[in-house]
Chains A and B, each alone.
Chain A
Amino acid sequence: MNTQKPRQASENGSDGFNASRRDFLKLSSAVAAASITPSVVTKAADKKVDERIADYFEKMTLNIEVNGTAQQLQVEPRVTLLDLLREQLHLTGTKKGCDHGQCGACTVHADGKRINSCLSLAIMNEGKKITTIEGLAKGEELHPVQQAFIKHDGFQCGYCTPGQIMSAVSCIREGHANSAGEIREFMSGNICRCGAYPNIVDAIMDVKKGGQDV
């Protein structure tokens, strides 16, 4: 992910774009942030305690409901929904396969619609209801699509599976599961390198034909 560098640091590494938080705080303390105890902040920066303070200033409040639980979180604006789920909320069922919206492994539902969580910054989901693979089953009772994936062996390694299942549920809800051909098209945003596609199609057809509530 680092073969291409978006920006090069200048020689001393302290230009505006690349300034460390310490530099930023020293600068801002002298100007706009005068009202928030600048001397304390500056001193803290010198003593390298600045990062916790930087945390306070640079994180935003995010109100989000994840798998039925409302949460208020403090999140940096650059954190993706995927990394928030995996690294901070420890919901690792949602997978990272490319981080570029190219593979679908990170598919979750946002207000009931499937999205690539790697392409969505966490703070863009303010007030939304997120459902991940961990939130699909009702307790011990698997969702019909989960059950059908087991029955039809719609996976091998299982890494793309959570994304496939979240997409499959949406595929049926959207009304895009009326034929094998239609399912193939509307499931083509989710790559399975093990090659379980025919079984995934069978699983979705099975649920669709069964008419269960998804």
Chain B
Amino acid sequence: MGNHFFDKATMPAGQDRVDGRAKVTGTARFAAEHPVPELTYGVLVCSTITKGHIKSLDTKAAEKAAGVLAVLSHLNSPKVPGFDPPKPANKDEKPRAWDGLKVFYSDKIYFNGQPIAVVVADTYERALYAATLVKAEYIKEPHQTDFNANIKQAASPKGGGDDYTRGEANAWKKAPVTLEAEYIVPFEVHNPMELHAIIAVWEAEDKITVYDKTQGPKDTQQSIMQAFNLPEKNVQVVTEYVGGAFGSALRTWPHEIAAMLAAKKVNKPVKLVLGRDNMFTLVGYRPYTIQKIGLGATEDGKLTGITHTAISQTSSYEEFTEGAVGVSKFLYACPNVNTSYKLIPLDIGTPTWMRGPGEATGCFALESALDELSYKLNIDPVELRLRNYAETDPQRNLPWSSKYLKECYQMGAEKIGWFQRNRNPRSMQEDGMLVGYGMSTGVFGAFRWNATAKGIFHADGTLTVQSAVSDMGPGTSTSMVNIASEAFGLPHDKIKFELGSSSLPPGPTQGGSGTTSTLGSAVHEVCVELTNQLKQLALSAGNSPFKNAKPEGLAVENGNVLLVADRNIKMSYVDILKQHNKPELEFMKESNAGEEQKKYSMYSYSVHFTKLHVHPSTGVITIKKVVTAGDAGKIVSEKTARSQMIGGVTGGIGMALTEEGIIDHRYGRYVNNNLADYHVPVNADVPEIEALFVNRPDPYLNPMGAKGMGEIALIGYAASVANAVYHATGKRIRDLPITLDKIIS
């Protein structure tokens, strides 16, 4: 292991974030903060019923209120061509249907909090006040928001369920040792700190610029093109900084279209910022999911059967699915596996991917169940996982591109003192508290998609790299500068990464832990090609010091092309450009994944260890220490990587202990739609977290050897807490969050 491992004490500090200064001085510009002349303000009016129709909408008072420019609703909204796409000329081609809610399209109400109007005024306060004057009358219909009351409605998704069988279905039932249990993950809400916001500016009748919160500037551009039937060149999406998102900004939501419609109507720029309550209803959430796991094993702990079924929910108007049961197909070597996934449509907005998405839900169940089985077998939970370690992918029958999960178990266990604990439940005490240790595994696909990057080397010796990507916090700019620095042979401070505009070369949407792999590959390839061009130019320069040398005999370092055979013989990039009278050197390239993804199964892994205290009489849980070990391939940015792992664990602490969106089913409305009642972890909830990395490159995924990290940081974590709570108390909590009432009941 030796040199491959580093931890907080010994690892190099790593590069500071390239945008750190902008963020600590308040100059980083988020969506709602762009100065736009003649700005007006839009405030949404949202439905107070959950299902039915708008009978009447009285907007007179609002329209008369001071400063109000317009009140827009289904009664007077400009048309959105993309909502009713014309039939394609070619009969074989299907019209591209609009995904999701069509805002201000009809009088129909699909969920509580659905936008029914937007009030536009010249100041925020005037719009906010006037919005209270809009009066709606409804024709109510009975609604269904209660998951458990509707469980009989569960059906396979139209787009295909996750029905899968390997070997024999339900083989676990025949095993000598069996476990069957049900696990619940409730509604969880992304709640990034930045409220979703947009400024919509129609530059002309058919030309728009939006300053928008989005994880994918190109995706948002495509949605706007589709909605308003506009060519690509007429739609610009600017998203310089994104204040967190965790999945909530992966698609275009109704409020974005509402702002664009409002701006069209008043013929002025409109800023629309959601309220925190809207963040629960309008920008997705992690769907409520009940899972059942059946595990069968031999007496010596070899798994003989896994059955993993899930019932989740979607909205009444749109189907959303995620891979909750996928992890059970490949995480452990087991000959007999079957899964299924069903959905219940409810009268709530459509869910969306939330950090870790389905895998976080699935790993909570699977990794809790493994822990339960370990006690039945009287085998240490780490040992049980090692006995069922999958050396190759049992689902696809392919080798792993790289897998250092064993190393993660070892590193984490050592660091937290796993094997020094007393394994028996409720056996350990410290300072009058029950002590619990728990562990769990996380896994997520390591992806690489297509991306284009452009590199421009300037005569002043600086390099600009560009791509239309956004950075919601992981440190994409910093990682890309690191990759460029390595590949181009130039110090970090001479490299600038430009992102956040759809007019840049097409970059990937930031999601699925794939940005570094996808975009990093493009940046790497562009930089390598630029160095190749510089080498050629160096050889052909009038004053070339490389007489009779070949490109293969040259290397790059610190802004110079140099001779490998004698590194003192060199020529600076700046000089090379000067000799050729070139003001700059530019190269753009689309980078695509190769055939490797078909030959290998590619995953990132994490192992989380938690030590916690439980108060013996009140059940209050205090997380004392966390060690999280990741196999995310080669780490390209040490400092931001560590922060990402710590951040994922923090999200996991919320998932484990506090987060639950609660709907009052009588009204179909959230009762805790604010940050005082929906509890995300605060500073006092989070202890020291040690993030360890195996830091070995994946040889096949991309040229950097980097795998993804954003998801594995959170996936599985909640199970390590549930398992630690069981170890501390002897009580198994299977429905999240683990609140103290469940412990003392």
Known pairs A95-B193, A97-B195, A158-B241; A195 contacts B648 (CB<8 A): yes
CA distance A123 to B349 in the complex (A): 39
Segment among B451-459, B540-548, B675-683 that sits at the interface with chain A: B675-683
Say how far A182's CB is from chain B's closest CB, in angstroms: 10
Segment among A33-41, A145-153, A206-214 that sits at the interface with chain B: A145-153
Complex contacts, B278 vs chain A, CB 8 Å: 1, 3
CA distance A153 to B646 in the complex (A): 11
- A2, A18, A86, A105: most-surrounded residue (chain B CB, <10 A): A2
- B67, B131, B646, B673: most-surrounded residue (chain A CB, <10 A): B646
Q: Indicate if the CB atoms of B26 and A100 lie closer than 8 Å.
A: no
Count B-side interface residues using an 8 Å CB cutoff: 87
Complex contacts, A102 vs chain B, CB 8 Å: 276, 674-676
The digit string for A1-15, where 1 denotes a CB below 8 A from any CB of B, is: 111011111011110
Q: Indicate if the CB atoms of B277 and A3 lie closer than 8 Å.
A: yes
Complex contacts, B19 vs chain A, CB 8 Å: 158
Q: Indicate if the CB atoms of B21 and A156 lie closer than 8 Å.
A: no
Complex contacts, A161 vs chain B, CB 8 Å: 23-24
CA distance A48 to B26 in the complex (A): 40
Complex contacts, A149 vs chain B, CB 8 Å: 20, 24
Q: Indicate if the CB atoms of A191 and B675 lie closer than 8 Å.
A: yes
The digit string for B662-674, where 1 denotes a CB below 8 A from any CB of A, is: 0000000100011
- CB-contacts of B623-672 with A (<8 A): 639-640, 642-644, 646-651, 669
B43 within 8 A of A: yes
Q: Indicate if the CB atoms of A193 and B193 lie closer than 8 Å.
A: yes
Q: Indicate if the CB atoms of A195 and B135 lie closer than 8 Å.
A: no
- A20, A50, A158: most-surrounded residue (chain B CB, <10 A): A158
Known pairs A102-B675, A132-B26; A198 contacts B193 (CB<8 A): no
A51 within 8 A of B: yes
Main secondary structure, interface of A, reads loop
CA distance A136 to B21 in the complex (A): 13
**The residue from B48, B643, B681, B687 contacting A153, defined by CB atoms under 8 A apart:** B643
- A147, A183, A188: most-surrounded residue (chain B CB, <10 A): A188
Q: Indicate if the CB atoms of A2 and B46 lie closer than 8 Å.
A: yes
Complex contacts, A51 vs chain B, CB 8 Å: 66-67
B331 within 8 A of A: no
Say how far A194's CB is from chain B's closest CB, in angstroms: 5
Q: Indicate if the CB atoms of B192 and A159 lie closer than 8 Å.
A: yes
Say how far A195's CB is from chain B's closest CB, in angstroms: 3
B266 within 8 A of A: no
Complex contacts, A76 vs chain B, CB 8 Å: 123, 125
CA distance A15 to B405 in the complex (A): 69
Known pairs A102-B676, A195-B646, A195-B686; A155 contacts B131 (CB<8 A): no
Say how far A101's CB is from chain B's closest CB, in angstroms: 8
B246 within 8 A of A: yes
The digit string for A68-79, where 1 denotes a CB below 8 A from any CB of B, is: 000000001011
Contacts across chains A and B counted by CB atoms under 8 Å: 241
Nearest A residue to B638, CB-CB: A153
**The residue from B27, B30, B132 contacting A7, defined by CB atoms under 8 A apart:** B132
**The residue from B17, B275, B688 contacting A198, defined by CB atoms under 8 A apart:** B688
Complex contacts, B65 vs chain A, CB 8 Å: 20-21
CA distance A195 to B659 in the complex (A): 14
Q: Indicate if the CB atoms of B27 and A93 lie closer than 8 Å.
A: yes
Complex contacts, A50 vs chain B, CB 8 Å: 66
Say how far B306's CB is from chain A's closest CB, in angstroms: 31
Q: Indicate if the CB atoms of A156 and B125 lie closer than 8 Å.
A: no
Nearest B residue to A91, CB-CB: B26
CA distance A160 to B681 in the complex (A): 14
CA distance A193 to B679 in the complex (A): 11
CA distance A145 to B79 in the complex (A): 51
Complex contacts, B26 vs chain A, CB 8 Å: 91-94, 132-134, 162
**The residue from A20, A99, A150, A158 contacting B16, defined by CB atoms under 8 A apart:** A150
A137 within 8 A of B: yes
A119 within 8 A of B: no
B474 within 8 A of A: yes
Known pairs A102-B676, A132-B26, A146-B25; A96 contacts B195 (CB<8 A): yes
Known pairs A83-B124, A99-B275, A132-B26; A18 contacts B686 (CB<8 A): no
**The residue from B123, B244, B648, B683 contacting A157, defined by CB atoms under 8 A apart:** B244
Known pairs A22-B64, A97-B276; A159 contacts B243 (CB<8 A): yes
Nearest B residue to A180, CB-CB: B688
**The residue from A8, A191, A200 contacting B193, defined by CB atoms under 8 A apart:** A191
- A1, A94, A146: most-surrounded residue (chain B CB, <10 A): A1
Say how far B647's CB is from chain A's closest CB, in angstroms: 3
Q: Indicate if the CB atoms of B246 and A193 lie closer than 8 Å.
A: yes
B33 within 8 A of A: yes
CA distance A93 to B275 in the complex (A): 19
B735 within 8 A of A: no
CA distance A137 to B27 in the complex (A): 12
CA distance A3 to B673 in the complex (A): 11
Q: Indicate if the CB atoms of B64 and A13 lie closer than 8 Å.
A: yes
Complex contacts, B33 vs chain A, CB 8 Å: 86, 92
Known pairs A95-B194, A184-B684, A195-B686; A157 contacts B473 (CB<8 A): yes
B284 within 8 A of A: no
A187 within 8 A of B: yes
Say how far A115's CB is from chain B's closest CB, in angstroms: 17
CA distance A99 to B17 in the complex (A): 29
Nearest A residue to B275, CB-CB: A1
CA distance A199 to B680 in the complex (A): 18
Q: Indicate if the CB atoms of B676 and A197 lie closer than 8 Å.
A: no
Complex contacts, B473 vs chain A, CB 8 Å: 156-158, 194
A185 within 8 A of B: yes
Q: Indicate if the CB atoms of A198 and B61 lie closer than 8 Å.
A: no
Q: Indicate if the CB atoms of A100 and B675 lie closer than 8 Å.
A: yes
Complex contacts, A105 vs chain B, CB 8 Å: 193
Say how far A150's CB is from chain B's closest CB, in angstroms: 4
Q: Indicate if the CB atoms of A54 and B640 lie closer than 8 Å.
A: no
A124 within 8 A of B: no
Say how far B86's CB is from chain A's closest CB, in angstroms: 35
Known pairs A133-B26, A149-B24, A156-B474; A3 contacts B66 (CB<8 A): no
22 interchain pairs, CB-CB under 8 A: A1-B276, A3-B673, A13-B61, A14-B61, A20-B66, A76-B123, A78-B125, A92-B29, A95-B194, A134-B25, A150-B24, A156-B474, A156-B475, A158-B473, A159-B193, A180-B688, A183-B683, A189-B682, A191-B675, A193-B246, A195-B648, A196-B646
Closest 8 CB pairs of A and B: A93-B26, A13-B61, A195-B650, A159-B243, A1-B275, A158-B23, A157-B473, A195-B647
Contact residues of A with B, CB < 8 Å? 1-3, 5-9, 11-14, 18, 20-22, 50-51, 54, 76, 78-79, 83, 86-87, 90-100, 102-103, 105, 132-134, 136-137, 142, 146-147, 149-151, 153, 155-162, 165, 180, 183-185, 187-201
